[in-house]
Amino acid sequence: MKPLRILWSCFLAITIFMVGMQPAQAFCGFYVAKADTNLYNQASQVIISRDGERTVLTMANDYQGEVKDFALVVPVPVILKEEQVHVGNPKILSRLDSFSAPRLVEYFDSNPCEIRAFDEDIMFKTAPQAASMESGLRQERSLGVTIEEQFTVGEYDILILSAKESDGLETWLTHNGYKIPPGAKEILQPYIRQNMKFFVAKVNLTEYDQQGFKKLRPISIAYESPKYMLPIRLGMVNAKQEQDLIVYLLSPQGQTELTNYRTVKVPSDRDIPEFVKAEFKNFYTSMFQKSYERENKQVAFLEYAWDMGSCDPCSAEPLNREELKQAGVFWLNSSSRNLRSPRNNVFITRLHVRYTGDKFPEDLKFQATGNRQLFQGRYVIRHPYTGEMNCSAANEYKRSVRDRQEREVQTLASLTGWNINDIRNKVEFVESQPIPWWRTLWNQ
Partner 1 sequence: MKDIYTLARSPKILDDARIYQILFLSFFLCLGIGTRDWTLRPDLIAVVIVSCLLVQWCLSALVEYAKKKNDHICLTNNTQLSIENIFNPKVISSLQSALITALGLCLLLRGNNYTTMAIASCLAIASKFLFRFHNKHFFNPANFGIISALILTNDAWVSPGQWGTNWWYLLLFAGMGGIVLKKVGRWDTSVAFLLSYASLEAMRNFWLGWGWEVWQHQFMSGSLLLFALFMLTDPRSIPNATISRLIWAVSIAVVTFILQDYFYLSTAIFWALFVISPLTILFDRAWSAPRFTWKRMLVVRD
Q: Which residues of the shown chain bind partner 1 in the complex (CB under 8 A)?
A: 166, 186, 189-190, 193-194, 226-228, 253-254, 257-265, 296, 298-299, 340-341, 358, 361-362, 365, 367, 369-373
Cβ 242 to partner 1 shortest distance, Å: 17
Q: Which is nearer to partner 1, 46 or 236 (CB)?
A: 236
Q: Which is nearer to partner 1, 240 or 340 (CB)?
A: 340
Cβ 300 to partner 1 shortest distance, Å: 9
* DSSP 8-state class, residue 328: T
Task: Please provide the DSSP assignment of 31-74 as one string.
Answer: TGGGTTTSSSTTEEEEEEEEETTEEEEEE-----S-GGG-EEEE
Cβ 174 to partner 1 shortest distance, Å: 19
Cα 342 from Cα 359, distance rounded (Å): 37
Strands 262-265 and 197-203: unpaired
Cβ 271 to partner 1 shortest distance, Å: 21
CA angle 307, 309, 314 (to 5 degrees): 85
Cα 69 from Cα 135, distance rounded (Å): 5
Q: Which is nearer to partner 1, 23 or 52 (CB)?
A: 52
Q: Which is nearer to partner 1, 333 or 338 (CB)?
A: 338
Q: Which is nearer to partner 1, 3 or 361 (CB)?
A: 361
Decide: helix, strand or coil at residue 207. helix
Q: Which is nearer to partner 1, 265 or 325 (CB)?
A: 265
Decide: helix, strand or coil at residue 266. coil
CB 63 within 8 A of CB 133: yes
Q: Which region, left, alpha or beta, applies to residue 190 given φ > 0 means left and ψ of -120 to 50 means alpha?
A: alpha
Cβ 260 to partner 1 shortest distance, Å: 6
Q: Which is nearer to partner 1, 22 or 253 (CB)?
A: 253
Q: Which is nearer to partner 1, 282 or 298 (CB)?
A: 298
Cα 289 from Cα 305, distance rounded (Å): 21
Cβ 47 to partner 1 shortest distance, Å: 21
Element (H, E) at 124: strand 122-125
Cβ 422 to partner 1 shortest distance, Å: 29
Cα 19 from Cα 120, distance rounded (Å): 51
Q: Where are the alpha helices (DSSP H) in 176-266?
A: 184-193, 205-211
CA angle 76, 80, 82 (to 5 degrees): 140
Q: Which is nearer to partner 1, 23 or 190 (CB)?
A: 190
Q: Which is nearer to partner 1, 186 or 209 (CB)?
A: 186
Strand locations in 209-363 (E): 219-224, 229-230, 243-251, 256-258, 262-265, 270-271, 299-307, 347-355
CA angle 40, 32, 11 (to 5 degrees): 65
Asked if the bond preceding 361 is cis, omega within 30° of 0, the reply is no
Q: Which is nearer to partner 1, 115 or 339 (CB)?
A: 339
Cα 284 from Cα 126, distance rounded (Å): 8
Cβ 290 to partner 1 shortest distance, Å: 16
Cβ 225 to partner 1 shortest distance, Å: 8
Cβ 244 to partner 1 shortest distance, Å: 20
Cβ 371 to partner 1 shortest distance, Å: 7
